[in-house]
Structure 1
C-alpha cells in the first residue's frame, strides 16, 4: 500500500486534524492508512499486524480519541502496554494529539507508588487510561479503576505481553470490560496464544496485516567482534577507544550486565548512564534528559527498558551479546541510520553466538562484517590524540586567563623550574597514560580464535570454539511457557543457576537453550520435570555446530527414536530405528548441516543416526 492519501483526508475531528498539522505530519504510514479511517467510522473489533516502529501508536490513538465523548467524565477507553516506557510514550502521544480538545489521559504502571496513582486517578478523572497489565489488574481488584463505561479496549504489542508472561492478566482485565465494547489488538507477530486470544475475546474482528519490510537498512553498517566471554567489557572499551566520536545505545541482555558495564565504562572515562527495570520513574526521566541533552553520550539498557525510547541522530548501536529474539536485533539497530543518516551497528559476541549471527544475516539479508579489535598501537595512538585535543583546550583557556593563577603556582613553578621541556613531557606522559598503557599490554589480543572453514562452507570441527552446549527442549509457548518460566523450571530441577542458561529461544511447540559444556550430564539426567502435565525431554542440538567425533563410550539403550536421520556433518549417512541411541556418542551423530528432508516421526523432530558419513540428512522436524 502506498501513501496516496494524507492525514487531512481522514474522517477525524477538526481538533485532531489541527493537532496533526501542528506536529508537521503529512502522510500516514501503511498501518495508519488501513486502521484510522476504519476505526474512526466503525464500531468493530480489530487486529493489526505490523512491525514495531511502523506508527501503530497513532494508528489506534487517533480513532480512539475521535470516539471520546468530552461530556462523559468516566473512563471510556483502556490501553494495555507491556512496559511502563511504552505506556508513558502512548500517554504523551495522546496528550499531544488531543491538545486542542483536552481529553484527560493518564498512565498507570508498576515500579512506582500505587498510592500516588490512586490519588491522581481520583483527582484527574481520566477518560483514557494507559497501563501495564499488572498495575491495571491491581487497581481493578482494589475497586479504584472503574471500567463500566469503557467502550474501547486496546492491546498494544500483544506478542510482547505474551512473552513477558502477562497473557493471563490480559485475559482477566478483558473480562472486566463491558460486554458491549470494541477490542483493538496490535501485534508484530501472531503466535498461537495470540490467535487463541483473538478467537475467544474478539468478535469477528477486521484483520489488517502489513507486509514486513526488508529488515536491513542500507544506511546502517553492521559489523561484529568475536571475543572470549571474560573480555566482553574490555572489548566494548577498546571499540569506544578507537572511535573519534559517538552518540549511542549499548544493549545488554540482563539488568546485571547493564549495571556492571555502566560501572566499567564510567571507571574507564566514558561518561555513561544506564536504564533498567529497577529504576523509579523520576530517575528514568532524569537519565533520559541527560542522554537527550548529550550530557552523557552513552546509554546502556536492556531491550525491555529501551521500549518507548525515541532518540534521533544516534551514530552507533552496540550489542553486548545478541538478544534472545533475533527480531529484537533488527529493532535495536534500527535506532541508528534514520532519516537518511549513516549509522553503525556493532555486535560484541561470544564464539558460541556465531550461529545466531548467521541466522541474523539470513533474516536481514545483509552481511555483518567480521572485524578484529583495534591493535594496541592504534589504541595507544588514539588515546594520546584525544588527550592532546583536551590539552589544547586547556592551553587555550590558560592563555586567556594568564592572571588567574593562584599564588601557590609559584611554589609549584619553583620546584620544577630546573626540568627541561623533554623531561617534563615524559613525566606528564607517564603520569597520564601509565595505567591505561599497562592495562592494554596485559591482554594485547582479546579476539577469539576462529577455526578454519572447510570447503563449501563445511566446518572443520566446528566454525568456532564453543564452551556451551545447545539443547532442544520439547515444550514451548503452546504449553503455556514464557522464557522466564522455562528458565526457572530448568534451573530448579538441575540446580544450574538461571543466569547460566543462555540463548533461550522459545518457539510455539519446542525451545532451545544453552548451558556451559560441563552441565551436559546434569541436563541429560533430567527425567521427572513436568510442565502442564507434559514430561519435558532434552536433546542435544547440532544447531550450534557440535557433532563429529566425541570419543565417548557407548550410550545405548537410551530413548527411542522412530523415523530416521541420514547423514552427518560432512554429509554422512546412517540410521537409527527404534531402540538404542545408535552406537557410541563418540561416532558420527548424524548431525550437521547437510541437506534436510522432512521424514520420520520422532517426537524430538528427527532421529539421531550412527554409522558412516556419506549422505544427506533427513529428519521429521527441522530444529532450525
Structure 2
C-alpha cells in the first residue's frame, strides 16, 4: 500500500500530513502527485468531488513554489467564494511548516482594496474566483505575467456557471510556458476546448470513467403524481430520521417555496439561491456545516462549490435541465469513501430522462416506492426507541427523581412507555394516520395526478420549431407564470404539440395565446377534445383536409426559437382562441367556436 512518503513529498509536507491524520493517499492523489512532482507538464485530471483533488494539486504546488521569492508563482481558479476560501484554508494547513509562503484568497463580496494590499505584500499563491480575478487584472491590481503554475479546479463547474470568457481572458495574461493543471468531475465539450486552447499535450489522469458518477452512491427514483411532489419529499425525509441532505430545485422560486414550506412544517431547512446576500449565504452555510440545518434546499448554481462532509442524501426534487448536472448533484454525497444515496422524485413523464442519465453515470436507477403513512410512523417509532436506549444518562436529574417518581406513581411500565411515546410521537400519527398512497404505476395510461378537472390543449408548434418536451414545458410554464407541475403531459410532435393544465387554468391559457404570433405566423392554442395519444399523432389532419402541421417555410434554418417575455416577445397580435372540433386540430380551416 502506497503512503505519502512514497509519492515524493518533502519533510515539511509530510509533517503537515501527519498532523492532519492522513494515512494513505486517495487514488487521484496517488496517480497525480508523483507526475506533477517529477516533471513540468500540463495535466487534465478527471475525478469526482470529494476524492481529494485539493491535496492532489496542492501538495505538488506547495513543494514547487519558491517561498523565498515574493513573486506570484501559482494561480488557482475555483468557481465559488466558498470553494475559494476552502482551498485557501487547506493549502495553509498543508504549508504550515513552509516558512515564508503566503497564500491569498481573491473573491467577490469582500473589499477589493484590502485584497489588493494583501497581494502587494507578496503572495506566492493566489486562489481566486474568475470574476474578481478578471476585475483585478483589468485594474492593474494583480500581475500574473510570471506565474509558473495555473490550476483550474472544478473546471466544468466554472464553465457551467458561464465563466468561459473570464477564464480565457485571465489565461491570456499569463505566460504560455506555464504548467496548467485542470481538475474536473466531468469532461464536457467546453472543458475539452479549454484544454485544447491553453494546454500543451497534457497528461490525462482519470479516476473512474469520464463523466460517470461515483460508485459509492446509490441512485433511487420515486414516481409520484406531479401534485404530490412536495408530500413525497416530506415522506422521504421522515423515513430517514438522521437525514443530512441537499435538496435540489431548478429555479430560485421553487427553491424558496420548498424551503419555506419545510420550515413551516417543522423541518430544519433553509434555502440557498442567487437572491441571497453574501452575508445570508454565509449564515446558511455555517448553519448547514454545523448540522443546525438538515435539509438545504438549493439551486444548482448556488450549490456549486459546497464541500460539506457526511451528506447522507441528495434529493432531486426536480431533475436538472442538463443531464451532466446530475453528476454534480449526486457527487455531493458518497464522498471520501463513504456511501451516499441520491433520490430523485419524478412524475411518470420524466422517467424516460432517467435512462439518459444512466448512460452518463453508467449506473442503474433503482425504482423504489414512497413509504406509506404507517410505515413512516413505524420507522420514527423505532428511531425514537433507539434514541432513548442510546442516550447517556444525565445524573444531574438524580436529585429530582423522588419527586418525578411520586408524580408517576401508579403507572405501569407499559403505560409509562405508551405515554412517553405518545407525547413525542403524536404529530407523526396525526399527520400520517389517514395518509394516501403517493406512488404511481409507471405503466398506467394517464397521469393519475390530473385525471379529474384537467384540460388538454393543441399547440401548433413542435420539434421542427426547436422544441423537445422539456423545453416546451419550460416555455409554457414561464409564459403562463405557472408552477413547474402545473403544465404536464407534454407531447411534442414534428409540427404540433399537446399539453395539459388543470381546468382552472383554461381561461388563462387561451387568453395568453389569443393574440400571439411567432415571426409573423399565428400560434394557435386550442382545447383538444382528444387525449392526443402518440399512436394517433402522426395521422392528425386539419378539418378542411389540408396539409397536416404548419407553414413549412417557418422552420427552415431557424433552429430553436428565442422566446422572450410577453412584453418583449416575438409574439404579437394574431389569431383567435378557438376550441377544436375534431380529434386532430390543425392550423387552418374552419373551426367551431367555443360555446
TM-score higher than 0.5: yes
Map Cα deviations across residues 507-536 of structure 1 (whole Å, 9 max, x no partner): xxxxxxx996578997xx98659xxxxxxx
Q: Counterpart of 1:559? A: 552
**1:170: Cα distance to partner?**
1.0
* Residues in 1 aligned to 2:65 and 2:482: alpha-carbon distance in whole angstroms: 46
Q: Which residue of 2 aligns with 1:268?
A: 265
| CA gap 1:390/1:195 in 2 versus in 1, 3 angstroms | closer
Offset of residue 120 of structure 1: 4.2
Query: Cα deviation per residue 1:206-232 (whole Å; 9 max; x = unaligned)?
Result: 231416349566765443222233332
Check if 1:236 corresponds to 2:233. yes
**1:549 aligns to what SS in structure 2?**
helix
CA–CA distance in structure 2, aligned partners of residues 303 and 327 of structure 1? 12
Please tell me whether the aligned partners of residues 549 and 586 of structure 1 are also in contact (alpha carbons under 8 angstroms): no
CA distance 1:379–1:56, shift in 2 (3 Å): closer
Per the alignment, do residues 495 and 127 of structure 1 end up closer, same or farther by CA in structure 2, a change over 3 Å counting? same
* Pair 1:78–1:431, CA change in 2 (3 A): closer
C-alpha distance in 1, partners of 2:339/2:31? 31
Partner of 2:298: 301
Q: Name which of structure 1's ranges 313-322 and 443-452 shifts more when overlaid on structure 2.
A: 443-452
Q: Distance in 2 between matches of 1:151 and 1:498?
A: 52
For structure 2, the residue ranges without an aligned partner over 5 or more in a row are 408-416, 488-496, 502-508, 521-531, 543-547, 557-581, 585-595
Q: For residues 357-414 of structure 1, what are the alpha-carbon distances to aligned partners after superposition, in whole Å with 9 as ceiling and x for unaligned?
A: 2333454454433333332344456667778999999x99997565999xxxxxxx9x
Aligned residue in 1 for 2:536: 549
Q: What is the CA distance between 1:461 and its match in structure 2? A: 7.8
Matched residue, 1:368: 365
For 1:436 and 1:404, locate their aligned partners in 2 and report how far apart those are by CA, in whole Å.
Answer: 32
Alignment of 1:44-443 (within 5 A): 44-102=41-99, 103-122=101-120, 125-202=122-199, 204-210=200-206, 212-213=208-209, 215=212, 220-279=217-276, 283-337=280-334, 343-379=340-376, 400=398, 402=400, 440=432
- 1:313-346: CA deviations, max 9, x gaps? 4433322122334344344444445566554432
Aligned to 1:567: none
Shift of 1:92: 2.0
Give me the whole-angstrom Cα distance separating, in 2, the residues matched to 1:212 and 1:549.
45
Distance in 2 (CA, whole Å) between partners of 1:400 and 1:200 is 72
Q: 2:45·2:182 contact (CA, 8 Å) conserved in 1?
A: yes
In structure 1, C-alpha distance between the alignment counterparts of 2:421 and 2:189, rounded to whole Å: 63
Change (3 A) 1:9 1:369: closer
Is the contact between residue 40 and residue 63 of structure 1 (CA under 8 Å) also seen in structure 2?
yes
- Unaligned ranges ≥5, structure 1: 406-412, 414-424, 453-459, 477-485, 504-513, 530-544, 563-584, 588-624
8 A Cα contact 2:77 2:152, kept in partner: yes
Q: How has the CA–CA distance of structure 1 residues 198 and 135 changed in structure 2, closer, same or farther, with 3 Å as cutoff?
A: same
* Aligned-residue offset at 1:101: 0.9
For residues 498 and 269 of structure 1, the distance between their equivalents in structure 2, rounded to whole angstroms, comes to 27
- CA deviations 1:583-621 (Å, max 9, x no partner) are xx979xxxxxxxxxxxxxxxxxxxxxxxxxxxxxxxxxx
Q: Choose the corresponding residue for 1:447, options 439, 442, 445.
A: 439
The alignment covers a number of residue pairs equal to 515
CA separation of 1:472/1:90 partners in 2, compared to 1, >3 Å: closer, same or farther?
Answer: farther
Name the SS of the counterpart of 2:44 in structure 1: strand
RMSD: 5.3
| TM-score between both structures, scaled by the size of structure 2 | 0.68
Q: What secondary structure is seen at the aligned counterpart in 1 of 2:534? A: coil
Aligned twin of 2:529: none
> Counterpart in 2 of 1:511?
none
The higher relative CO (CA closer than 8 Å, separation ≥ 6) is in 2
User: Does the CA-based 8 Å contact 1:326-1:360 persist in structure 2?
Assistant: yes
TM-score (normalised: structure 1): 0.65
Q: Indicate the residue corresponding to 1:572 in structure 2.
A: none
> What do the CA deviations read for 1:1-24 (whole angstroms, capped 9, x no partner)?
xx7x54323344432233234334
Q: Deviations over 1:412-462 (max 9, x none)?
A: x9xxxxxxxxxxx9999999988876665786343345334xxxxxxx689
Residue 558 (structure 1) shift: 4.1
Change over 3 Å in CA distance of 1:383–1:62 after alignment to 2: closer
Change (3 A) 1:51 1:272: closer
